[in-house]
Structure 1
Amino acid sequence: SGLGLLVLIDIVHSYASADEMVGLSLFDGSNDCYFHSGKRGHHKYWGTRMFKYDDVDVLHFLLSNLSWWVTEYKIDGFQFHSLSSMLYTHNGFSTFTGAIEEYCNQYVDKDALIYLILANEMLHELHPDIITIAEDATYYPGLCEPTTQGGLGFDYW
């Protein structure tokens, strides 16, 4: 915009409102249109819905949402909100000591990792000046490493 200001928005692709009147919960009448079914579909502490990142419709929805914000409003970047709640099936509510085993176990949502890689790849390919920031309290390894080097591709943590 030429004024020396950057416009960043906090994008919440880590969970969604469970409110059926204003949110996506039960959007098509089913319990699992965009979300995991059963306990995994509900955040244990926040009462929100958890996206199923292995579903192609969810990927299309979330990725197109990112593109829409950039195209429609010409924003400069995103802070990806609460990655801890999406990266782990325990929603990040665990003790982290920094041991590599905490980041490479059955509680890591590999589909969420793939979504974040796709999001960063797409955003940086289509919009080379875009800024992506990871909000993560668990110090997930490789957050700001390039995707070509096995990282998630964020610019900042």
Structure 2
Amino acid sequence: MNEADRKKRNADRLKELYPTFRTRLKSVISTLEAAGLRPRIQDAWRSPADQKKAYDSGHSKLLYGFHNVTSSTGTPESLAVDLLDDDSPVNPGKPYLLQLAAAAEKAGLVTGIRWGVPAKLIPGIDTAIANKDWSAPVKVGWDPTHVQPTDVTVAEAKAGKRPA
């Protein structure tokens, strides 16, 4: 995707996010861009039908998740995005994934980089991030480009709570 299209896509998808999550995600994007990376929001808000497709295909383990959050009037207020490396959207490298995790954590967010990774291997991810060793030979989780908040659960978001 060319640079103008990537930036427009990100601007459009940012409008689908809850405001405080949007602010945090903008920080993540800025951090990655400052490092010379080209993050692209692939998915932000998802309809229940699209979430079911993601669930049925094994791309999600939830029938209702942070991607599905709306306001009481039905306006999209997604609390999750899939933030791909626009230069390698199908197979992002570990340098991108580790820098994404670091930028997300700095912004009070988390990625799926640790999801499904055996507990004994998680310290390797933590060490790589702490040391900014973006090429560390770590095992990554099953949804490493997924970004979400840490200060609200899916159940709380479904009940109307939003991150501060």
Return the TM-score normalized by structure 1: 0.26
Higher helix fraction: Structure 1 or Structure 2? 2
**Scaled by the length of structure 2, what TM-score is found?**
0.26
Relative contact order, CA 8 A, sep 6+: which one is greater? 2
